[in-house]
Chains A and B, each alone.
Chain A
Amino acid sequence: MPVEIAAPKIEVRASEPPPQVSGGKAKVAVRDLDFFYGRVQALHNISIEIPERIVMAFIGPSGCGKSTFLRTLNRMNDVIPATRVGGQVLIDDHDIYAPGTDVVELRRRVGMVFQKSNPFPKSIFDNVAYGLRINRVTSSNSELAGRVEQALKDAALWNEVKDRLKTSALSLSGGQQQRLCIARALAIRPEVLLMDEPASALDPIATSKIEELIFDLKKQYTIVIVTHNMQQAARVSDTTAFFLLGKLIEVNSTEKMFTAPNEKLTEDYITGRFG
Protein backbone atom coordinates (compact mmCIF):
# COMPACT_ATOMS: atom_id res chain seq x y z
CA MET A 1 0.00 0.00 0.00
CA PRO A 2 1.73 3.14 -1.15
CA VAL A 3 2.00 5.82 1.47
CA GLU A 4 1.65 9.45 0.62
CA ILE A 5 4.72 11.38 1.57
CA ALA A 6 4.05 15.04 2.26
CA ALA A 7 5.49 17.38 -0.35
CA PRO A 8 8.74 18.72 1.00
CA LYS A 9 8.49 22.28 2.25
CA ILE A 10 11.87 22.21 3.84
CA GLU A 11 15.11 21.55 2.12
CA VAL A 12 16.87 18.67 3.80
CA ARG A 13 20.37 18.50 2.51
CA ALA A 14 21.98 15.16 1.90
CA SER A 15 24.61 15.13 4.55
CA GLU A 16 27.05 12.81 6.15
CA PRO A 17 25.45 10.38 8.59
CA PRO A 18 24.82 12.18 11.84
CA PRO A 19 27.36 11.50 14.56
CA GLN A 20 26.31 8.61 16.78
CA VAL A 21 25.94 8.81 20.50
CA SER A 22 28.64 6.91 22.22
CA GLY A 23 27.23 4.36 24.58
CA GLY A 24 27.59 0.71 25.40
CA LYS A 25 27.69 -2.10 22.92
CA ALA A 26 25.37 -1.54 19.95
CA LYS A 27 22.39 -3.85 20.25
CA VAL A 28 21.04 -2.62 16.94
CA ALA A 29 23.22 -1.24 14.17
CA VAL A 30 21.61 0.08 11.01
CA ARG A 31 23.76 0.76 8.00
CA ASP A 32 22.80 2.69 4.88
CA LEU A 33 19.17 1.70 5.12
CA ASP A 34 16.83 2.66 2.30
CA PHE A 35 13.17 1.76 2.31
CA PHE A 36 10.66 2.00 -0.51
CA TYR A 37 6.88 1.80 -0.66
CA GLY A 38 6.60 0.84 -4.31
CA ARG A 39 8.45 3.60 -6.12
CA VAL A 40 8.28 6.02 -3.24
CA GLN A 41 11.43 6.12 -1.17
CA ALA A 42 10.40 6.59 2.45
CA LEU A 43 13.78 6.22 4.12
CA HIS A 44 17.07 7.51 2.79
CA ASN A 45 20.41 6.08 3.73
CA ILE A 46 19.78 5.74 7.47
CA SER A 47 22.72 4.73 9.63
CA ILE A 48 22.34 4.58 13.37
CA GLU A 49 23.49 2.54 16.33
CA ILE A 50 21.24 1.80 19.27
CA PRO A 51 23.23 0.84 22.34
CA GLU A 52 22.08 -1.95 24.61
CA ARG A 53 19.73 -1.18 27.50
CA ILE A 54 18.94 2.40 26.75
CA VAL A 55 15.77 4.13 25.66
CA MET A 56 16.05 5.79 22.29
CA ALA A 57 13.25 8.09 21.14
CA PHE A 58 12.45 8.78 17.50
CA ILE A 59 10.90 12.18 16.92
CA GLY A 60 9.89 14.07 13.80
CA PRO A 61 6.82 15.42 12.04
CA SER A 62 4.11 13.14 10.67
CA GLY A 63 5.23 11.32 7.55
CA CYS A 64 8.93 11.73 8.35
CA GLY A 65 9.49 7.98 8.36
CA LYS A 66 10.07 7.33 12.05
CA SER A 67 7.36 4.65 12.37
CA THR A 68 8.41 3.12 9.06
CA PHE A 69 11.96 2.98 10.34
CA LEU A 70 10.82 1.47 13.65
CA ARG A 71 9.04 -1.28 11.74
CA THR A 72 12.13 -2.11 9.74
CA LEU A 73 13.79 -3.15 13.00
CA ASN A 74 11.68 -6.29 13.30
CA ARG A 75 10.61 -6.59 9.66
CA MET A 76 7.02 -5.60 10.35
CA ASN A 77 7.00 -3.87 6.98
CA ASP A 78 7.39 -7.25 5.30
CA VAL A 79 3.63 -7.70 5.47
CA ILE A 80 3.06 -4.58 3.34
CA PRO A 81 3.06 -5.46 -0.37
CA ALA A 82 5.53 -3.86 -2.79
CA THR A 83 7.96 -2.68 -0.16
CA ARG A 84 11.69 -2.91 -0.60
CA VAL A 85 14.62 -2.56 1.78
CA GLY A 86 18.26 -1.77 1.06
CA GLY A 87 21.15 -1.68 3.49
CA GLN A 88 21.54 -3.62 6.68
CA VAL A 89 19.88 -3.91 10.07
CA LEU A 90 22.16 -5.78 12.42
CA ILE A 91 20.96 -7.08 15.75
CA ASP A 92 23.85 -8.45 17.77
CA ASP A 93 25.87 -8.28 14.54
CA HIS A 94 23.47 -10.47 12.54
CA ASP A 95 21.71 -8.94 9.55
CA ILE A 96 17.99 -9.48 10.07
CA TYR A 97 17.38 -9.09 6.34
CA ALA A 98 19.84 -11.86 5.43
CA PRO A 99 18.28 -14.78 3.56
CA GLY A 100 17.18 -17.54 5.88
CA THR A 101 16.38 -15.28 8.80
CA ASP A 102 13.66 -16.76 10.98
CA VAL A 103 11.25 -13.82 11.11
CA VAL A 104 9.10 -15.36 13.84
CA GLU A 105 12.15 -15.77 16.03
CA LEU A 106 13.23 -12.22 15.11
CA ARG A 107 9.89 -10.85 16.30
CA ARG A 108 10.22 -12.85 19.51
CA ARG A 109 13.53 -11.12 20.12
CA VAL A 110 12.29 -7.74 18.96
CA GLY A 111 8.86 -7.18 20.48
CA MET A 112 6.48 -4.41 19.53
CA VAL A 113 3.82 -2.33 21.25
CA PHE A 114 1.49 -0.30 19.09
CA GLN A 115 -0.20 3.06 19.40
CA LYS A 116 -3.60 1.53 19.97
CA SER A 117 -3.75 -1.23 22.50
CA ASN A 118 -4.84 -4.43 20.81
CA PRO A 119 -5.66 -7.06 23.40
CA PHE A 120 -7.15 -10.29 22.09
CA PRO A 121 -10.77 -10.95 23.06
CA LYS A 122 -9.57 -13.41 25.63
CA SER A 123 -8.90 -13.41 29.34
CA ILE A 124 -6.12 -11.32 30.84
CA PHE A 125 -4.18 -14.51 31.55
CA ASP A 126 -4.62 -15.90 28.05
CA ASN A 127 -3.51 -12.63 26.47
CA VAL A 128 -0.17 -12.80 28.24
CA ALA A 129 0.14 -16.56 27.82
CA TYR A 130 -0.61 -16.36 24.09
CA GLY A 131 2.92 -15.80 22.89
CA LEU A 132 4.29 -18.40 25.27
CA ARG A 133 1.85 -20.98 23.95
CA ILE A 134 2.32 -20.36 20.25
CA ASN A 135 6.07 -20.28 20.70
CA ARG A 136 5.79 -23.49 22.76
CA VAL A 137 7.97 -21.88 25.39
CA THR A 138 6.70 -24.20 28.09
CA SER A 139 4.35 -27.13 28.47
CA SER A 140 4.17 -26.84 32.24
CA ASN A 141 1.09 -25.05 33.55
CA SER A 142 2.86 -23.87 36.67
CA GLU A 143 5.76 -22.45 34.66
CA LEU A 144 3.29 -20.81 32.30
CA ALA A 145 1.50 -19.23 35.28
CA GLY A 146 4.84 -18.09 36.68
CA ARG A 147 5.87 -16.48 33.40
CA VAL A 148 2.50 -14.73 33.07
CA GLU A 149 2.77 -13.42 36.62
CA GLN A 150 6.29 -12.16 36.05
CA ALA A 151 5.34 -10.43 32.79
CA LEU A 152 2.39 -8.75 34.48
CA LYS A 153 4.66 -7.67 37.31
CA ASP A 154 7.26 -6.34 34.86
CA ALA A 155 4.50 -4.39 33.15
CA ALA A 156 3.40 -2.97 36.54
CA LEU A 157 -0.06 -4.47 36.10
CA TRP A 158 0.00 -7.48 38.42
CA ASN A 159 -1.41 -5.78 41.50
CA GLU A 160 -4.31 -4.40 39.51
CA VAL A 161 -5.33 -7.69 37.86
CA LYS A 162 -4.08 -10.55 40.03
CA ASP A 163 -7.57 -11.23 41.38
CA ARG A 164 -9.26 -11.27 38.01
CA LEU A 165 -6.93 -13.01 35.63
CA LYS A 166 -9.79 -14.95 34.08
CA THR A 167 -11.84 -11.89 33.19
CA SER A 168 -11.80 -10.47 29.70
CA ALA A 169 -8.90 -8.23 28.80
CA LEU A 170 -11.45 -5.97 27.14
CA SER A 171 -12.80 -5.05 30.59
CA LEU A 172 -9.56 -3.24 31.41
CA SER A 173 -9.14 0.52 31.04
CA GLY A 174 -7.21 1.90 28.06
CA GLY A 175 -4.04 2.36 30.09
CA GLN A 176 -4.33 -1.11 31.59
CA GLN A 177 -4.92 -2.61 28.16
CA GLN A 178 -1.76 -0.94 26.90
CA ARG A 179 0.23 -2.29 29.84
CA LEU A 180 -1.32 -5.71 29.16
CA CYS A 181 0.01 -5.49 25.61
CA ILE A 182 3.42 -4.62 27.06
CA ALA A 183 3.15 -7.63 29.38
CA ARG A 184 2.24 -9.78 26.39
CA ALA A 185 5.34 -8.56 24.60
CA LEU A 186 7.53 -9.06 27.69
CA ALA A 187 6.26 -12.58 28.40
CA ILE A 188 8.30 -14.04 25.57
CA ARG A 189 11.36 -12.20 26.91
CA PRO A 190 12.36 -10.05 23.98
CA GLU A 191 15.72 -8.29 23.90
CA VAL A 192 14.50 -5.18 22.13
CA LEU A 193 11.14 -3.52 22.63
CA LEU A 194 9.76 -1.27 19.92
CA MET A 195 7.02 1.13 20.99
CA ASP A 196 5.06 3.08 18.42
CA GLU A 197 3.45 6.00 20.25
CA PRO A 198 2.46 3.74 23.15
CA ALA A 199 0.82 6.47 25.21
CA SER A 200 -0.70 8.72 22.58
CA ALA A 201 -4.25 7.56 23.33
CA LEU A 202 -3.90 7.59 27.10
CA ASP A 203 -4.74 10.11 29.80
CA PRO A 204 -1.91 11.75 31.79
CA ILE A 205 -2.08 9.24 34.67
CA ALA A 206 -1.99 6.21 32.38
CA THR A 207 0.74 7.92 30.35
CA SER A 208 2.76 8.48 33.49
CA LYS A 209 2.48 4.78 34.37
CA ILE A 210 3.69 3.78 30.92
CA GLU A 211 6.60 6.22 31.20
CA GLU A 212 7.58 4.89 34.62
CA LEU A 213 7.37 1.42 33.20
CA ILE A 214 9.66 2.34 30.31
CA PHE A 215 12.13 3.75 32.80
CA ASP A 216 12.13 0.48 34.77
CA LEU A 217 12.23 -1.75 31.70
CA LYS A 218 15.40 -0.21 30.31
CA LYS A 219 17.39 -2.03 32.99
CA GLN A 220 16.65 -5.22 31.07
CA TYR A 221 15.67 -4.22 27.56
CA THR A 222 16.76 -2.01 24.74
CA ILE A 223 13.77 0.20 24.06
CA VAL A 224 12.99 2.26 20.99
CA ILE A 225 10.01 4.56 21.21
CA VAL A 226 8.35 6.65 18.54
CA THR A 227 6.57 9.63 19.98
CA HIS A 228 5.00 12.83 18.80
CA ASN A 229 5.12 14.16 22.30
CA MET A 230 8.49 15.84 22.67
CA GLN A 231 8.14 16.26 26.41
CA GLN A 232 7.63 12.52 26.58
CA ALA A 233 10.77 11.93 24.54
CA ALA A 234 12.62 14.26 26.89
CA ARG A 235 11.26 12.50 29.96
CA VAL A 236 11.81 8.88 29.05
CA SER A 237 14.70 8.60 26.64
CA ASP A 238 18.47 8.60 26.99
CA THR A 239 19.07 9.41 23.35
CA THR A 240 16.89 10.96 20.70
CA ALA A 241 16.93 10.67 16.94
CA PHE A 242 15.28 13.30 14.77
CA PHE A 243 13.87 12.30 11.37
CA LEU A 244 12.70 14.60 8.62
CA LEU A 245 11.40 13.63 5.19
CA GLY A 246 12.80 10.15 5.48
CA LYS A 247 16.24 11.25 6.55
CA LEU A 248 17.92 10.94 9.88
CA ILE A 249 18.97 14.47 10.71
CA GLU A 250 20.50 14.12 14.14
CA VAL A 251 21.11 11.60 16.88
CA ASN A 252 22.14 12.99 20.21
CA SER A 253 21.84 12.54 23.92
CA THR A 254 18.34 13.65 24.87
CA GLU A 255 19.71 16.30 27.17
CA LYS A 256 21.78 17.82 24.37
CA MET A 257 18.97 17.44 21.85
CA PHE A 258 16.54 19.48 23.93
CA THR A 259 18.93 22.13 25.17
CA ALA A 260 21.44 22.60 22.38
CA PRO A 261 20.92 20.45 19.29
CA ASN A 262 23.69 20.39 16.71
CA GLU A 263 21.51 20.83 13.65
CA LYS A 264 19.45 23.89 12.82
CA LEU A 265 16.69 21.69 11.41
CA THR A 266 16.43 19.89 14.74
CA GLU A 267 16.36 23.17 16.60
CA ASP A 268 13.66 24.53 14.31
CA TYR A 269 11.57 21.41 14.83
CA ILE A 270 11.79 21.16 18.57
CA THR A 271 11.19 24.87 19.02
CA GLY A 272 8.17 24.60 16.72
CA ARG A 273 9.47 26.85 14.01
CA PHE A 274 8.63 24.82 10.97
CA GLY A 275 6.06 26.11 8.54
Chain B
Amino acid sequence: MDTHRHLDDELSSLRDRVLLLGGEAEQALERAMYSLSERDSEVARQVLDHDDQVDHLEVEIDRQCIDIIALRQPAARDLRFVISVAKMAPVLERIADHACNIARTAIDLNNEPELKPVLDLGNMAEHALKMLRGALDAFTSSDAISAREIIKSDSEINDLYNHTFHRLIELMVTEPGTATRDARLLFVAKHLERIGDYVTDICELTVYMAEAAFIKHT
Protein backbone atom coordinates (compact mmCIF):
# COMPACT_ATOMS: atom_id res chain seq x y z
CA MET B 1 0.00 0.00 0.00
CA ASP B 2 3.06 2.24 -0.35
CA THR B 3 1.58 3.92 -3.40
CA HIS B 4 -1.39 5.02 -1.41
CA ARG B 5 0.73 6.24 1.46
CA HIS B 6 2.59 8.37 -1.09
CA LEU B 7 -0.73 9.68 -2.36
CA ASP B 8 -1.83 10.47 1.20
CA ASP B 9 1.44 12.33 1.75
CA GLU B 10 1.00 14.28 -1.46
CA LEU B 11 -2.60 15.18 -0.65
CA SER B 12 -1.53 16.25 2.80
CA SER B 13 1.22 18.42 1.37
CA LEU B 14 -1.26 19.92 -1.09
CA ARG B 15 -3.63 20.72 1.78
CA ASP B 16 -0.79 22.41 3.69
CA ARG B 17 0.10 24.50 0.65
CA VAL B 18 -3.42 25.69 -0.02
CA LEU B 19 -3.82 26.61 3.64
CA LEU B 20 -0.56 28.50 3.43
CA LEU B 21 -1.90 30.36 0.40
CA GLY B 22 -5.13 31.03 2.30
CA GLY B 23 -3.08 32.39 5.20
CA GLU B 24 -1.15 34.63 2.82
CA ALA B 25 -4.38 36.01 1.32
CA GLU B 26 -5.79 36.59 4.79
CA GLN B 27 -2.65 38.36 5.95
CA ALA B 28 -2.49 40.49 2.80
CA LEU B 29 -6.05 41.68 3.33
CA GLU B 30 -5.50 42.34 7.02
CA ARG B 31 -2.36 44.36 6.35
CA ALA B 32 -3.86 46.25 3.40
CA MET B 33 -6.78 47.35 5.55
CA TYR B 34 -4.37 48.28 8.36
CA SER B 35 -2.35 50.42 5.93
CA LEU B 36 -5.57 52.16 4.92
CA SER B 37 -6.97 52.76 8.38
CA GLU B 38 -3.63 53.64 9.99
CA ARG B 39 -2.34 55.57 6.93
CA ASP B 40 0.78 53.40 6.92
CA SER B 41 2.11 53.27 3.36
CA GLU B 42 5.11 51.19 4.40
CA VAL B 43 2.84 48.31 5.35
CA ALA B 44 0.95 48.76 2.05
CA ARG B 45 4.24 48.48 0.14
CA GLN B 46 5.08 45.29 2.07
CA VAL B 47 1.78 43.82 0.92
CA LEU B 48 2.64 44.64 -2.70
CA ASP B 49 6.19 43.32 -2.39
CA HIS B 50 4.93 40.05 -0.95
CA ASP B 51 2.49 39.40 -3.79
CA ASP B 52 5.10 37.66 -5.97
CA GLN B 53 5.41 34.96 -3.32
CA VAL B 54 1.65 34.52 -3.32
CA ASP B 55 1.68 34.14 -7.12
CA HIS B 56 4.52 31.66 -6.89
CA LEU B 57 2.62 29.61 -4.33
CA GLU B 58 -0.41 29.48 -6.61
CA VAL B 59 1.71 28.17 -9.49
CA GLU B 60 3.26 25.55 -7.20
CA ILE B 61 -0.19 24.37 -6.19
CA ASP B 62 -1.25 24.21 -9.83
CA ARG B 63 1.76 22.08 -10.66
CA GLN B 64 1.19 19.82 -7.70
CA CYS B 65 -2.46 19.25 -8.68
CA ILE B 66 -1.46 18.42 -12.26
CA ASP B 67 1.22 16.01 -11.05
CA ILE B 68 -1.19 14.22 -8.73
CA ILE B 69 -3.83 13.90 -11.44
CA ALA B 70 -1.31 12.70 -14.03
CA LEU B 71 0.70 10.38 -11.83
CA ARG B 72 -1.73 9.14 -9.19
CA GLN B 73 -5.07 9.26 -10.99
CA PRO B 74 -7.05 10.08 -7.87
CA ALA B 75 -10.68 9.03 -7.70
CA ALA B 76 -13.75 9.82 -5.63
CA ARG B 77 -12.99 11.94 -2.55
CA ASP B 78 -9.32 12.29 -3.52
CA LEU B 79 -10.29 13.51 -6.97
CA ARG B 80 -12.82 15.94 -5.52
CA PHE B 81 -10.17 17.24 -3.14
CA VAL B 82 -7.57 17.80 -5.85
CA ILE B 83 -10.08 19.43 -8.19
CA SER B 84 -11.34 21.68 -5.40
CA VAL B 85 -7.83 22.74 -4.50
CA ALA B 86 -6.97 23.36 -8.16
CA LYS B 87 -9.97 25.67 -8.43
CA MET B 88 -9.48 27.21 -5.01
CA ALA B 89 -5.87 28.29 -5.45
CA PRO B 90 -6.57 30.94 -8.13
CA VAL B 91 -9.48 32.22 -6.05
CA LEU B 92 -7.19 32.73 -3.06
CA GLU B 93 -4.60 34.36 -5.29
CA ARG B 94 -7.28 36.76 -6.55
CA ILE B 95 -8.23 37.63 -2.99
CA ALA B 96 -4.58 38.54 -2.43
CA ASP B 97 -4.71 40.62 -5.64
CA HIS B 98 -7.70 42.53 -4.30
CA ALA B 99 -5.73 43.12 -1.10
CA CYS B 100 -2.92 44.53 -3.27
CA ASN B 101 -5.39 46.84 -4.98
CA ILE B 102 -6.55 48.05 -1.57
CA ALA B 103 -2.89 48.58 -0.58
CA ARG B 104 -2.30 50.67 -3.74
CA THR B 105 -5.36 52.75 -2.93
CA ALA B 106 -4.07 53.19 0.61
CA ILE B 107 -0.75 54.53 -0.72
CA ASP B 108 -2.62 57.00 -2.94
CA LEU B 109 -4.96 58.11 -0.15
CA ASN B 110 -2.15 58.40 2.36
CA ASN B 111 -0.65 61.11 0.18
CA GLU B 112 -3.82 63.17 0.45
CA PRO B 113 -5.62 64.75 3.40
CA GLU B 114 -7.43 62.31 5.61
CA LEU B 115 -11.13 61.77 5.03
CA LYS B 116 -13.48 61.32 7.91
CA PRO B 117 -13.69 57.58 8.57
CA VAL B 118 -16.20 55.60 6.55
CA LEU B 119 -16.98 53.09 9.29
CA ASP B 120 -18.60 50.45 7.14
CA LEU B 121 -15.34 49.80 5.31
CA GLY B 122 -13.82 48.54 8.56
CA ASN B 123 -16.89 46.41 9.22
CA MET B 124 -16.81 45.06 5.70
CA ALA B 125 -13.14 44.10 6.01
CA GLU B 126 -13.74 42.51 9.38
CA HIS B 127 -16.62 40.49 7.97
CA ALA B 128 -14.64 39.49 4.87
CA LEU B 129 -11.75 38.31 7.04
CA LYS B 130 -14.11 36.38 9.30
CA MET B 131 -15.65 34.72 6.25
CA LEU B 132 -12.25 33.87 4.81
CA ARG B 133 -10.99 32.35 8.07
CA GLY B 134 -14.21 30.40 8.44
CA ALA B 135 -13.99 29.19 4.84
CA LEU B 136 -10.44 27.93 5.33
CA ASP B 137 -11.49 26.17 8.55
CA ALA B 138 -14.48 24.59 6.81
CA PHE B 139 -12.22 23.44 4.00
CA THR B 140 -9.72 21.94 6.43
CA SER B 141 -12.38 19.96 8.23
CA SER B 142 -14.45 19.21 5.10
CA ASP B 143 -17.34 20.86 6.88
CA ALA B 144 -20.10 21.48 4.34
CA ILE B 145 -22.53 22.76 6.98
CA SER B 146 -20.24 25.60 8.05
CA ALA B 147 -19.41 26.31 4.41
CA ARG B 148 -23.10 26.76 3.64
CA GLU B 149 -23.50 29.11 6.64
CA ILE B 150 -20.62 31.24 5.41
CA ILE B 151 -22.16 31.44 1.95
CA LYS B 152 -25.36 32.79 3.52
CA SER B 153 -23.41 35.41 5.43
CA ASP B 154 -22.12 36.96 2.19
CA SER B 155 -25.36 38.93 2.04
CA GLU B 156 -24.13 40.94 5.05
CA ILE B 157 -21.11 42.16 3.07
CA ASN B 158 -23.39 42.99 0.16
CA ASP B 159 -25.62 45.02 2.48
CA LEU B 160 -22.64 46.84 3.92
CA TYR B 161 -21.38 47.53 0.40
CA ASN B 162 -24.72 49.01 -0.65
CA HIS B 163 -24.76 51.17 2.42
CA THR B 164 -21.17 52.31 1.84
CA PHE B 165 -21.91 53.00 -1.82
CA HIS B 166 -24.81 55.30 -0.97
CA ARG B 167 -22.88 56.97 1.83
CA LEU B 168 -19.91 57.73 -0.47
CA ILE B 169 -22.16 59.01 -3.28
CA GLU B 170 -23.80 61.24 -0.74
CA LEU B 171 -20.38 62.55 0.31
CA MET B 172 -19.44 63.22 -3.31
CA VAL B 173 -22.56 65.34 -3.68
CA THR B 174 -22.32 67.18 -0.40
CA GLU B 175 -18.54 67.62 -0.43
CA PRO B 176 -17.43 67.63 -4.10
CA GLY B 177 -13.88 68.43 -3.07
CA THR B 178 -13.50 64.93 -1.68
CA ALA B 179 -14.96 63.18 -4.73
CA THR B 180 -11.65 61.67 -5.96
CA ARG B 181 -10.88 60.25 -2.55
CA ASP B 182 -14.48 59.05 -2.16
CA ALA B 183 -14.20 57.27 -5.49
CA ARG B 184 -11.03 55.55 -4.30
CA LEU B 185 -12.82 54.36 -1.19
CA LEU B 186 -15.67 53.16 -3.34
CA PHE B 187 -13.18 50.93 -5.13
CA VAL B 188 -11.98 49.62 -1.78
CA ALA B 189 -15.57 48.79 -0.88
CA LYS B 190 -15.98 47.00 -4.21
CA HIS B 191 -12.80 44.99 -3.61
CA LEU B 192 -14.13 43.89 -0.24
CA GLU B 193 -17.48 42.98 -1.75
CA ARG B 194 -15.71 40.87 -4.41
CA ILE B 195 -13.66 39.15 -1.73
CA GLY B 196 -16.93 38.09 -0.13
CA ASP B 197 -17.91 36.55 -3.48
CA TYR B 198 -14.60 34.74 -3.74
CA VAL B 199 -14.98 33.34 -0.24
CA THR B 200 -18.38 32.10 -1.36
CA ASP B 201 -16.64 30.29 -4.26
CA ILE B 202 -14.26 28.65 -1.79
CA CYS B 203 -17.19 27.47 0.32
CA GLU B 204 -18.95 26.07 -2.73
CA LEU B 205 -15.82 24.09 -3.53
CA THR B 206 -15.76 22.79 0.03
CA VAL B 207 -19.36 21.63 -0.32
CA TYR B 208 -18.43 19.89 -3.58
CA MET B 209 -15.42 18.30 -1.94
CA ALA B 210 -17.40 17.06 1.06
CA GLU B 211 -20.67 16.09 -0.57
CA ALA B 212 -20.00 15.91 -4.32
CA ALA B 213 -22.82 18.44 -4.65
CA PHE B 214 -22.65 21.27 -7.15
CA ILE B 215 -24.28 24.25 -5.48
CA LYS B 216 -22.77 26.97 -7.64
CA HIS B 217 -25.42 29.05 -9.40
CA THR B 218 -28.22 27.33 -7.51
Question: Is A97 close to B, CB under 8 A?
Answer: no
Min CB–CB distance B212 → chain A (angstroms): 3
How many residues on A have C-beta within 8 angstroms of the other chain's C-beta atoms? Answer: 15
C-alpha gap A195/B78 in the complex (Å): 29
C-alpha gap A273/B75 in the complex (Å): 11
Question: Is B163 close to A, CB under 8 A?
Answer: no
Question: Is A142 close to B, CB under 8 A?
Answer: no
CB-based contact A272/B76 at 8 Å: no
Question: Is A258 close to B, CB under 8 A?
Answer: yes
A272 cross-chain contacts in B, Cβ below 8 A: 1, 3-4, 7
B134 cross-chain contacts in A, Cβ below 8 A: none
B39 cross-chain contacts in A, Cβ below 8 A: none
Min CB–CB distance B8 → chain A (angstroms): 9
CB-based contact A259/B1 at 8 Å: no
C-alpha gap A272/B2 in the complex (Å): 10
B1 cross-chain contacts in A, Cβ below 8 A: 272, 274-275
Residue ID in chain B nearest A268 by CB atoms:
B76
A85 cross-chain contacts in B, Cβ below 8 A: none
Question: Is B80 close to A, CB under 8 A?
Answer: yes
CB-based contact B3/A259 at 8 Å: no
Question: Is A261 close to B, CB under 8 A?
Answer: yes
CB-based contact A258/B75 at 8 Å: yes
A231 cross-chain contacts in B, Cβ below 8 A: 73
A270 cross-chain contacts in B, Cβ below 8 A: 75-76
CB-based contact B4/A259 at 8 Å: no
A260 cross-chain contacts in B, Cβ below 8 A: 76, 80, 212
Residue ID in chain B nearest A230 by CB atoms:
B75
Min CB–CB distance A63 → chain B (angstroms): 17
How many residues on B have C-beta within 8 angstroms of the other chain's C-beta atoms? Answer: 13
CB-based contact A273/B80 at 8 Å: no
Which parts of A237-275 form the interface with B (CB within 8 Å)? Answer: 258-261, 266-267, 270-275
1/0 per residue B49-80: CB within 8 Å of A? 00000000000000000000000011111111
Residue ID in chain A nearest B79 by CB atoms:
A259
A271 cross-chain contacts in B, Cβ below 8 A: 4, 74-78
C-alpha gap A259/B212 in the complex (Å): 8
CB-based contact B73/A259 at 8 Å: no
Min CB–CB distance B110 → chain A (angstroms): 50
C-alpha gap A258/B74 in the complex (Å): 9
B76 cross-chain contacts in A, Cβ below 8 A: 258-261, 266-267, 270-271
Min CB–CB distance B80 → chain A (angstroms): 7
C-alpha gap A266/B7 in the complex (Å): 18
C-alpha gap A120/B136 in the complex (Å): 63
CB-based contact A258/B4 at 8 Å: no
C-alpha gap A275/B5 in the complex (Å): 11
1/0 per residue B137-178: CB within 8 Å of A? 000000000000000000000000000000000000000000
B7 cross-chain contacts in A, Cβ below 8 A: 272
A275 cross-chain contacts in B, Cβ below 8 A: 1
Residue ID in chain A nearest B211 by CB atoms:
A260
Min CB–CB distance B47 → chain A (angstroms): 38
1/0 per residue A96-130: CB within 8 Å of B? 00000000000000000000000000000000000
Min CB–CB distance B136 → chain A (angstroms): 23
Min CB–CB distance A151 → chain B (angstroms): 34
B80 cross-chain contacts in A, Cβ below 8 A: 259-260
Min CB–CB distance B53 → chain A (angstroms): 33
Q: Which of A231, A234, A260 has the most CB of B within 10 A?
A: A260
C-alpha gap A231/B73 in the complex (Å): 8
C-alpha gap A270/B80 in the complex (Å): 13
Which parts of B58-112 form the interface with A (CB within 8 Å)? Answer: 73-80
Min CB–CB distance A146 → chain B (angstroms): 43
Min CB–CB distance A89 → chain B (angstroms): 30
Residue ID in chain B nearest A267 by CB atoms:
B76
A266 cross-chain contacts in B, Cβ below 8 A: 76
Besides A267-B77, A271-B77, A274-B1, 6 more A-B contacts (Cβ < 8 Å) are A234-B75, A258-B79, A267-B76, A271-B75, A272-B3, A275-B1
Interface residues, chain A, CB within 8 Å of chain B?
A: 230-231, 234, 258-261, 266-267, 270-275
In the complex, the 4 A-B pairs of residues with the closest C-beta atoms, listed nearest first: A260-B212, A272-B4, A270-B75, A267-B76
9 residue pairs from A and B, CB less than 8 Å apart: A230-B73, A230-B75, A258-B76, A259-B76, A260-B76, A260-B212, A270-B76, A271-B74, A271-B75
